[in-house]
Each structure stands twice: as structure tokens, then as C-alpha cells.
Amino acid sequence: MPSTSTSTARLTRADYDELGRELDKLRQEVTDDLGEADARYIRRLIAAQRGLEVAARAVLMFSSRRWAWWTGTAALSVAKILENMEIGHNVLHGQWDWMRDEKIHSTTWEWDTACPADQWKHSHNVVHHTFTNVLGKDRDVGYGILRVAPEQEWHPVYLAQPLYNLLLAMLYEYGIALHDLAPELVESGEKTQEEFDRQLKEIGHKVGRQFLKDYVAFPLLAGPNALPVLLADLTANTIRNVWAHTVIFCGHFPGGIEVFEERQLEGETRGEWYVRQLLGSGNISGGRLLHLMTGNLSHQIEHHLFPDLPSNRYARIAPQVRELCRKYDLPYRTGGLGRQVAGHWRKIVRLAFPGG
């Protein structure tokens, strides 16, 4: 059924259908145009990211010197952000599956973070992108611990949410790793205890491998510089976690973003699904470097409309998406990084209290 949002009050059934056709056409135009230039982009980016990480690791071998520690840590932070955001996130979305390159494919890629790729693909690609911002269906709405919409029932525990949102930012990869466990589904009978235990075991193995790599193997390779290298890895992972948390929250929880009731999914058409993505997402305005470092999730609206299109295409189609929003009198929410960060933190603080 159509959204009951005031943002869509003027839309008729014909408007929804026509908007759906126009967005489908835009998607098809991009798909038909994909080619060697796009493949070259992702291959060069992967090569550059790996080269940067190797260089960072080499510099950190001399991390007893202050310049080497700061330079190596900064380079490693950037390398981890690129791997997590523009490469890992987007490869696992299947954005590059059309290349039929088994090394850059959603079925074979494993990323440099605590969350097992297969579990993330289920919780994110399947659940979140299907039920975007639907209360009771999209578990990304507050990640089960935050109140990010006034429609969520208030409980006293939310009074502490500014604090545990900060902790979530610093430990974001571990929060995401646990996200698909959904123990409440075991209680309701929607998931078996055996499946829960299997997932937990997979998480334990992945976290163990990540811990061994960053906090044991590389420090030991540095010999007498083991402690500075360990601290560099801890710093780089924390920076990557905070940055990923910031980008995701700016795209999903700034001011004005709407949530939906499960009943609104009944008979939802393609056009209505598109509109729900538009109303449930926000962009971050900025230049090419910002877009690269956010994994092009600064174009969260375009990503939610077309999650399997290559991220390097989002900036090109954004003006067309914005024009369609203008045509159908729909909001296209965007703002600078500072504004979006302030917006989502205002919401976190305000909704820690009743009402909102």
C-alpha cells in the first residue's frame, strides 16, 4: 500500500508507477553502459589500496620513530577505510559481479573486518535493503539498541544511548559482526539454536583471525617495535570503525529521515519501494575524495535505489535522481558532512528522552 507520509500526499497510483518506470529505465541505462572503464576503476583501486597497506606496514617497521608511527598509522587507516567502504562493502553487494572475475565477486570476497561476509550479506543486502526503515522488519533501525525514531517505544535504557552510541562507533565492526545473530529470532522460533550456534562459531573464527593478524602477527614481525605496531593497528581499526559508523549514521539517521509501518508493505509496488528508499535515506554533499572515502555511501539515496550498481556511477546519476525528486515533489535530503553528523547526534540525544 502507498506510504502515508506527508511527503507523498500528492502522489497518485499513476505517479508511483511512472516514477518506478523512470527509475527502472535509469538503472537499465547504467547497466547497459558498464564496461572496461568501470572494470579498470575497481581493479586499479584494489591495487592502490593494497599498495598503500603494504607501504604502511613497511613504514611501521620503523615505528619507534615518531614520524614513522604517525605516517604509517595514517596510511594504514586510509587503506582500511578504502578496503572496508569502497571495496569490500560494494563488492559484497554484487556491484562488480557482472565482470565475472572470481577474485572480485560477492561469492568469494572476504573483507578485512570482524563480520563474516556471508552473515553481513544476509543482514544487510537481504534484510536491510529489502525492508529499509520498516519498524519491526529492518534491524538496522537503531541496531536493536538505539532509539532513532519517535515511533520506537521509549524505555529508560535509552537515557544512556549517547554513551553507548559512542562506544558502538569505536567498536563498530564488532557490533556489525553480532548483528545477524538476532537471538530474539531463536526465542520466537524463527531461527534454530543450531543455526545461532553455527553463526556464533563463524564470528569467533573471523574475530580470532583478525585479532591474530593485527595484534599478534604484524607486531611480532616488527620485533623490538612490536608495541608501537600493535598500537598503530588498534588506532587504525578504531579510526576505520568511527568513520564507517559516521558515514552509515549520516546516511540513515539524520534529521528528516522517515520510518514506516509493516502494514505499508502490503501490496507494495516497485514504485512504492523506490519511494520508501528515497524517504529513508540521506546524502552527504562533498567532493570526489569524500565520496571515495565513504565508499560512495555519501550517495546513500542512489545506493538505496540501486544497491547493486557500481558505486563509481552514483555521482553521475545523482543529478537525474534529484531531478526526478523535484518532478514528483519528493524530498532529496542532502547536506555537508558536519551538518549530517550534527543531525544524527541531535537525534540520538533528543530521542534518548521520551517523546520526540
| Close Cβ partners of 201 (under 8 Å, ≥ 6 residues apart) | none
| 277-313 confidence digits (pLDDT tens) | 999 999 999 999 999 999 999 999 999 999 999 999 9
Confidence at residue 190, expressed as pLDDT on a 0 to 100 scale: 87
Does a structural domain hold residue 134? yes
pLDDT at residue number 9: 65
Enumerate the β-bridge partners of residue 239: none
Q: What pLDDT does residue 236 have?
A: 98
137 belongs to a structural domain? yes
Q: What is the mean pLDDT of each run of 10 residues along the chain (356 residues)?
A: 63 95 98 97 98 98 96 98 98 97 97 96 94 91 90 94 96 93 86 93 97 97 96 98 97 88 92 95 96 97 97 97 96 95 93 90
Q: What is the pTM of this model?
A: 0.94
> What's the pLDDT score for residue 201?
96
Residue 85 counted as domain residue? no
Q: How far is CA 139 from the centre of its chain?
A: 13
Domain-embedded: residue 326: yes
Distances (CA, A) of 350 to 280, 332, 336: 19, 23, 21
Model pLDDT, residue 187: 86
Residue 157 is part of which domain span? 6-34+114-350
Provide the pLDDT for residue 5.
64
Report the domain count for the chain.
1
Look up residue 208 and give its amino acid: G
CA angle 87, 139, 137 (to 5 degrees): 120
CA distances from 126 to 87, 137, 211, 245, 345 (A): 19, 11, 28, 20, 27
- First and final CA of the chain: distance in angstroms? 26
Three cell numbers at 69? 608511527
Q: What is the pLDDT of residue 4?
A: 55
66 within some domain? no
pLDDT at 50: 98
- Residue 89 inside a domain? The answer is no
Confidence (pLDDT) at 231? 98
Spatial contact of 60 and 234, defined as CB atoms under 8 Å apart: no
Q: Is residue 45 part of a domain?
A: no
Q: For residue 214, is it within any domain?
A: yes
pLDDT the model gives residue 322 = 97
